[in-house]
Chains A and B, each alone.
Chain A
């Protein structure tokens, strides 16, 4: 029973990992569909609860898979789900990195770099806007967002400080 559960975890997250372009947030609906509707491992409320915990913890957002693994099959589940979610994209990134070694001096690579770097930077700013909209709850959140953006833009000081300050401010302003 446990064996087949671990296998299901590996298969589910291994498949999801390969379509998670832009990180796990892109596939949260797919994961929800799989674990709630298809496999019937948990109800919607439990899924949202696990998702909230994964958001609250530090680290990359693929951790939602780790937590579902833990919820379903303890430590072994956590390890299997994490590996399944992380290993396939890692191998792909590794192969791509190696391939880039070979082409890095060429005109084609420079063209691709000049074209795709601004796209990537634009996408970062865009995702910040998206997150700002999601976290909007009145003027105080706008002030916090603007203050944190200014801190990053104008200083080289560790970004953990505005984050901690904002958490305290949120707590005080409640």
Chain B
């Protein structure tokens, strides 16, 4: 198997194409308003396919690449466990139900779009998704037991994007080399001691 081994890939369990497909089917179906919380729930907690750090790495790569995060993660995770077919199974899994639901929603939406009840429910769900995304990030931060350097890098990202609302691409272009430099310096300081 051609896998991108992150840390302990030698302990790969046999994960079938069907399991991969069904896992990502669940992510796609339940990922209302953004799939990040449910994706982490399925991949790290429910199916335990990846550790927290592996998942954060895959997600980090997915964020830097163009395209939807979770689709990029699906490609990398599927390829890791089952090669090209696995990647295909994961992408089909994550896209299938949303496309079906999308066509259904588009058909009935016109009738309910002006209903105050539907809009209030969507507003409530939107507020919940925001909290779920924050909770997911905070939980990942806790489980990764960050060093002081890592905390500083994360805090910079939160302030620049989350508080000051600067545009994503320039911030990432500026922060990524800075993060590498800070981490490298911290490693050297530790080695010197």
**A166–B101 Cα gap in the complex (Å)?**
20
Question: A97 contacts B4, CB within 8 Å?
Answer: yes
Question: B135 contacts A122, CB within 8 Å?
Answer: no
Question: B101 contacts A57, CB within 8 Å?
Answer: yes
**Contacting chain B: which of A1-9, A31-39, A140-148?**
A140-148
B177 (CB) vs chain A CBs: closest residue: A115
Interface centre among B2, B3, B127 (most CB of A within 10 A): B127
Question: B169 contacts A168, CB within 8 Å?
Answer: no
A62 (CB) vs chain B CBs: closest residue: B68
* Chain A residues with CB below 8 A from B63, complex form: 21-22, 120, 123
Chain B contact residues, majority secondary structure: helix
Partner of A128, one of B79, B130, B147: B130
Contacts A137-B123, A170-B127 given: A111-B184 contact, CB under 8 Å? Answer: yes
* Chain B residues with CB below 8 A from A147, complex form: 128, 131
8 Å CB interface, A96-136 against B: 96-101, 104-105, 111-136
* Chain B residues with CB below 8 A from A145, complex form: 127-128, 130-131, 134
* Chain A residues with CB below 8 A from B141, complex form: 118, 121, 125
Question: B71 contacts A89, CB within 8 Å?
Answer: yes
Question: A120 contacts B60, CB within 8 Å?
Answer: yes
Partner of A63, one of B84, B91, B102, B169: B102
**A100–B155 Cα gap in the complex (Å)?**
27
Fill in one digit per residue for B80-121: 1 if any A CB lies within 8 Å of its CB, else 0: 100010010001001101110111011001000100110011
Contacts A59-B35, A122-B153 given: A150-B135 contact, CB under 8 Å? Answer: yes
B76 (CB) vs chain A CBs: closest residue: A97
* Chain A residues with CB below 8 A from B95, complex form: 59-60, 82, 86
Question: A156 contacts B109, CB within 8 Å?
Answer: no
**A45–B141 Cα gap in the complex (Å)?**
40
* Chain B residues with CB below 8 A from A104, complex form: 4-6
Determine whether B17 belongs to the interface, using a CB cutoff of 8 Å to chain A. no
Question: B136 contacts A112, CB within 8 Å?
Answer: no
Residues of B within 8 A of A (CB): 2-6, 28-38, 41, 45-46, 53, 56-57, 59-72, 75-76, 79-80, 84, 87, 91, 94-95, 97-99, 101-103, 105-106, 109, 113, 116-117, 120-142, 144, 146-147, 149-151, 153-158, 160-163, 165, 168-169, 172, 175-176, 179-180, 182-184, 187
Residues of A within 8 A of B (CB): 17-24, 26, 49-50, 52-63, 66-67, 70, 78, 82, 85-86, 88-90, 92-94, 96-101, 104-105, 111-137, 141-142, 144-153, 156, 158-160, 162-163, 165-171, 173-174
**Which 7 residue pairs spanning A and B have beta carbons closest together?**
A170-B124, A59-B98, A89-B67, A152-B135, A122-B157, A148-B131, A126-B162
